[in-house]
Structure 1
């Protein structure tokens, strides 16, 4: 399958690996693939004038990662603490990004069988399924290659986990964006 990847798609995957490494993660997930897509200038032009806000998606990913990292938003809400509201107030007062990335810059493996992030970083099952889905997206569009746009379209599928949730939480309707991108890809062919 990887032989069908265009240079841009390969750059997305390499970018995903770099995002995982910088975050200290011992896996490449759909969140990392999404960040790799957001880094792609060509995809930026393709998604231009849609409601996809790359910075909004990054903020949504940060919030989702923080939630996944042990903070239980529902329990905190029960105590009268709204994490999104806290983040908004801090950013209003100290500027956007004041809280920084909630993940450490380097995290040691939690268990002996987990790899350190310096070596090969494996894909999660969701990320593998998303890359396989990108092949089906390409075939649906009658393309003989897998480009960055196909990976992004695959990430818009609900089974793409955290990537799909981040896009949705950023205020972008994934299904609507998918239809718009498919139309633009067909029109440009």
Structure 2
């Protein structure tokens, strides 16, 4: 299902799952995918550049959402959590948007469009409240993709340390997991996600 996803899009879903573990809900909702998008929205990323057109700070909005949806019991990240119905719709819409734009990949810009198309979802309502409209965002994406790509932003020392510390912690958990345990695959996936993020930071 995720073969066409870019590294950034995959990180977004990883961050969405992490948000669920911190906020404590039974499924991955569109609000968690939005939090994941915002967490991955570095200064020069296409989502950050889209939001800048609406005078929205990804960091400020993410913090607002994390405070708004906080209060649930934390869930261990090794526990499998399903996508909610609205999220499944949003992911399907994201693929449709990529196809309609004749893109052979699904990136964070398509995920944003998918969230906007999931009418009635939490994320669509949040984005609509802040002035984002599907047709406007689609036009902005086409415009931005036609422009020369911006110079890549150098990763902060804190970001690199975060990924390294998370990899070390997950490796320790993996070492303690019983042989053949169901915990091994999710831990391995999360290690690979952090390694992919490090590769993008260090190699591009």
Q: Distance in 2 between matches of 1:127 and 1:36?
A: 13
Aligned to 1:172: 131
Q: Output one character per residue of 1:99-137: Cα deviation in whole Å (capped at 9) or x when no partner.
A: x445225258xxxxxxx7750011001101111111111
Q: Distance in 2 between matches of 1:159 and 1:106?
A: 28
Q: Distance in 2 between matches of 1:3 and 1:102?
A: 30
Aligned to 1:104: 71
| Counterparts of residues 1-189 of structure 1 (less than 5 Å) | 1-40=1-40, 41=42, 42-47=45-50, 49-53=52-56, 54=58, 57-58=61-62, 61=65, 100-101=67-68, 103-104=70-71, 106=73, 119-159=79-119, 161-169=121-129, 171-175=130-134, 176-187=136-147
SS at match of 1:3: coil
Cα deviation for residue 58 of structure 1 reads 4.0
SS at match of 1:47: helix
Number of aligned pairs? 144
* More contact order relative to length (CA 8 Å, sep ≥ 6): 1
Q: Distance in 2 between matches of 1:188 and 1:177?
A: 19
Cα deviation for residue 159 of structure 1 reads 2.0
- Normalised to the residue count of structure 1, the TM-score between the two structures is 0.65
Q: Distance in 2 between matches of 1:163 and 1:52?
A: 18
Q: Distance in 1 between matches of 2:106 and 2:82?
A: 20
Q: Output one character per residue of 1:30-77: Cα deviation in whole Å (capped at 9) or x when no partner.
A: 000011111122234432531051356447746xxxxxxxxxxxxxxx
Gaps of 5+ in 1: 63-99, 109-115
Q: Distance in 1 between matches of 2:60 and 2:133?
A: 14
Alpha-carbon contact 1:12-1:36 (below 8 Å) kept: yes
- Normalised to the residue count of structure 2, the TM-score between the two structures is 0.61
Change (3 A) 1:39 1:58: closer
Change (3 A) 1:52 1:2: farther
Aligned CA-pair RMSD: 2.7
Cα deviation for residue 2 of structure 1 reads 0.9
